Amino acid sequence: MSEWKTFYAHIRDKKKIYVLIHEKPDGDCLGTALGLSLFLKELGYEAAILHPAPIPSVYTFLPGQQHLKLWKDVLPAHALYVCVDCADWERTGYPMPENPYVINIDHHVSNVYYGNLNLVETSAAATGEIVYKMLKSSGIVIDPEVATCLYVALITDTGSFSYSNTTAESLKIGSELVMMGANIDTIRQNLYEKRPFAELLIVKLSLNNLFLAANGKIIAAAISYEEMRAYDLLDADTDGLISMLRAVEGVEVALLLKEFTPGQIKVSLRSKLTCDVNLLAQKFGGGGHPRAAGFVTSGKINEVRDAVIKLIENTF
Amino acid sequence: MSEWKTFYAHIRDKKKIYVLIHEKPDGDCLGTALGLSLFLKELGYEAAILHPAPIPSVYTFLPGQQHLKLWKDVLPAHALYVCVDCADWERTGYPMPENPYVINIDHHVSNVYYGNLNLVETSAAATGEIVYKMLKSSGIVIDPEVATCLYVALITDTGSFSYSNTTAESLKIGSELVMMGANIDTIRQNLYEKRPFAELLIVKLSLNNLFLAANGKIIAAAISYEEMRAYDLLDADTDGLISMLRAVEGVEVALLLKEFTPGQIKVSLRSKLTCDVNLLAQKFGGGGHPRAAGFVTSGKINEVRDAVIKLIENTF
């Protein structure tokens, strides 16, 4: 399915390729889009990653930034779009343009196969894995810049090969990308060694207000609007915090509630073994994976917390 | 160097093999010793891991526990000893027995080549890597239990493939061990998902007492004797804390001071790029690696902190 020849058959007659990413792009989305764009550029294609909102500055160290175009207009009609890591068209953040030709590359189980070509592999730990296998099957050399981008895709979605989606295949691909010149020193320094000091402060603050339920099987932390504003944090800056909460012995579900605008609460959910937090998040119009999901709702932070905890308790 | 035939030539005529580990053994030390013992047992050898003090309970999920023998007596004379992950004999915690035959398997740069056979590879990310390559070269099948032990050795010393010692080789070995049946679900659940709640409390406490110096290039946290006692933490339980401190943007050196007995301070040091904390620790009779080292000294916790910070500032 994800062979280069299938993909190539769909792009062969084109000159210009627009790559679309999802809102609040993560390392898998951006690394894959940048790696693919760099590769296509080397083959003589004109590749541009169109994005409606600025991308998180933590990823500006990645090669291929020249392909990123902050594009707020209507998307060009009759063009070729490669959507990366997007389960449906809406995730791109753009209204559908006139008569698009869509290649959909993704690994989410919730993907709705909206493309003219769908390269969807739900068993892949990252969308970067799918693109890596595709590029490798082309026989064309993957250069160190492309390898660096794809390595970032891989390690951000697998928690540096520590999450449950890690496979022998992910590790093998990681090894091959390092052999191809992925700059793991630069990656480490930028992803793991430039954490904002405010992240420590928010951890401190959250640990002062921990909430335990169901005999310690549920743990919750909450950040109010005033605190969110005071610390000016990005979404990704609280990933470490919820992982710490989930890691505690006896905890099955960890919740992090962030009031990002007054009365609007973003709820992140992580579970260990039994609780399907994707199903839970869907009840609030959100979604994700069984072990990691989230949603946005309105209400008072403590009330939202108690309502979610009650639902979780019902699943035990 | 680490070929099976070299090792086998030294054990061939023996029946009983004593494996020695170091004090306060970590995942690399224990995973390697257990993996090797299980492998030797399958070949008909009698293998026992002698250890003078109880091992951390976090590793009791590892296969091969039946080979661990809490042994407080003098070591048997004229016996074959395989020392794992020990830079010198003293690290085993035992006085040298009469006429021992010693095989020294280690990856520390500080190794003093004290064995009759020295399988020392300082380029290996973990001692587990050396033993893996050795066992693989035997051609004998590595079973899932042995693979599980060696995978733990690998990921604990590389921080799940995130530290600077990670190589394409480490990732390739990781991939092969998963193919051989390393139980990464059990490993993840035991290593990453059973963290003591007290660890969160100690993080909270330390974050309330952060000390910054040299314009944020140095960050320090301290835990007093009373706090150490109150939380009853293992050494490994504060690894996450010092990593969090080191990860902060702008920080070059992170210090964690623990008063484990009144007036006795254990200082852990981590650095990013320029400061050789191994050299620094050596000034206090300690040691380690350029990026991670430690020592024990006596004094008042704040005075020790200030003295170390002054020395670090001199290296900038």
CA distance B148 to B37: 13
Question: Distance (Å) from the C-alpha of residue A71 to the closest C-alpha of chain B?
Answer: 31
Give the pLDDT confidence score for residue B109 in this predicted structure.
Answer: 85
Instruction: Give the start-to-end residue ranges of the domains of chain B.
Output: 4-191, 197-315
pLDDT for position A235: 66
pLDDT tens digits, residue range A167-200?
999 999 999 999 999 999 999 999 999 988 988 9
Size of interface A-B (CB pairs under 8 A): 122
Backbone angles phi, psi at B267, to 5 degrees: -110, 120
Q: How buried is A15 (Cβ within 10 angstroms: 0-12 exposed, 13-18 middle, 19+ buried)?
A: exposed
- The SS3 call for residue B5 is helix
Residue B301 has pLDDT above 90, yes or no: yes
Cβ–Cβ of B161/A164 closer than 8 Å?
no
Instruction: Report percent pLDDT > 90 for chain B.
Output: 81
Residue A178 contacts B where some CB pair is shorter than 8 Å = yes
Picking from B164, B168, B199, the nearest residue to A179 by CB comes out as B168
Q: What is the pLDDT of residue A268?
A: 94
pLDDT tens profile A43-93: 999 999 999 999 998 999 999 999 999 999 999 999 999 999 999 999 999
pLDDT over 60 (residue A271): yes
Using the CB atoms, write b or e for B243-265: b if 16+ within 10 Å: bbbbbbeebbbbbbbbbeeeeeb
Taking CB atoms and an 8 Å limit, are A200 and B185 in contact across chains?
A: no
Model pLDDT, residue B170 = 97
**Cβ contacts of residue A257 below 8 Å, gap of 6+?**
A220, A221, A222, A223, A265, A266, A267, A268, A301, A304, A305
Residue A267 CA to residue A284 CA, distance in Å, equals 10
pLDDT bin (cut points 50, 70, 90) of residue B19 is very high
Q: pLDDT band for position A2 (50/70/90)?
A: low
Burial class (CB in 10 A: 0-12, 13-18, 19+), A298: exposed
- The CA–CA distances, whole Å, from A100 to A5, A103, A116 equal 21, 10, 9
Q: Is A1's pLDDT higher than 60?
A: no
Q: Average pLDDT in the A210-229 region?
A: 93
Segment among A210-219, A232-241, B147-156, B157-166 with least mean pLDDT: A232-241
Distance CA B174, CA A249 (A): 26
In the prediction, which pLDDT does B310 show? 96
Q: Which residues of B touch A189 (CB under 8 A)?
A: 272-273
A4-191 maps to which CATH number? 3.90.1640.10
What residues 227-246 of chain B have any CB closer than 8 A to a CB of chain A? 240, 244-246
What would the pLDDT profile of B233-262 be if each residue is shown by its tens digit?
666 677 789 989 999 999 999 999 999 889
Interchain proximity B207–A204, CB inside 8 Å: yes
User: Nearest-CA residue of chain A relative to B253?
Assistant: A193
A175 and B185 in contact by Cβ < 8 A? no
Q: How far is CA B223 from CA A133, A242, B198, B233, in A?
A: 49, 24, 13, 11
- For chain B, percent of residues with pLDDT exceeding 70: 98
Architecture of domain B197-315: Roll (3.10)
- In this structure, of A53-67, A199-213, B55-69, B155-169, the range with the lowest mean pLDDT score is A199-213
**What integer pLDDT is reported at residue B234 of this predicted model?**
67
For residue A139, the model assigns a pLDDT of 95
Measured distance CA(B92)–CA(B25) in Å, rounded: 10
What pLDDT is recorded for position B77?
A: 97
DSSP symbol at B4:
H
**A186 at B interface, C-beta within 8 A:** no
> What ipTM was estimated for this complex?
0.91
For residue A4, pLDDT over 60 is answered with yes
Question: How confident is residue A253, by pLDDT bands cut at 50, 70 and 90?
Answer: very high
Q: Please answer yes or no on whether B160 and A159 come within 8 Å at the CB atom.
A: yes
Does A178 contact B171 at a Cβ distance shorter than 8 Å? yes
Pairing of strands A46-51, A68-70: parallel
Percentage of residues of chain A with pLDDT beyond 90: 81
Using CA coordinates, name the residue in chain B closest to A165: B185
- Structure confidence at residue A47 (pLDDT): 98
Q: Which residues numbered 36-95 in A keep a CB inside 8 Å of some CB on B?
A: none
Tokens representing A28?
């898998």
Q: Point out the residue among A204, A216, A245 whose CB comes nearest to the CB of B208.
A: A204
> B26 near B236, Cβ under 8 Å?
yes
Instruction: Tell me the residues of chain B between 122 and 161 that have a Cβ less than 8 Å away from chain A.
Output: 155, 159-161
**pLDDT the model gives residue A291:** 87
For the ranges A1-10, A159-168, A191-200, B82-91, which has the lowest average pLDDT? A1-10
Closest residue, chain B, to A240 (C-alpha): B244
Angle between helices B27-42 and B144-158 (to 10 degrees): 160
Residue B288 pLDDT more than 90? no
**pLDDT value at residue B236:** 64
Which has the higher per-residue pLDDT, A311 or B231?
A311
Asked whether the predicted pLDDT for residue A234 surpasses 70, the reply is no
Q: Do A197 and B249 touch (CB under 8 A)?
A: yes
Q: Quick one: CA dihedral A53, A56, A57, A61, positive or negative?
A: negative
- pLDDT band, very low/low/confident/very high, at B284 (cuts 50, 70, 90): very high
Q: Do A196 and B164 touch (CB under 8 A)?
A: no
Nearest to B235, CA basis, from B203, B272, B270, B266: B266
B260–chain A Cβ distance below 8 A for any pair: no
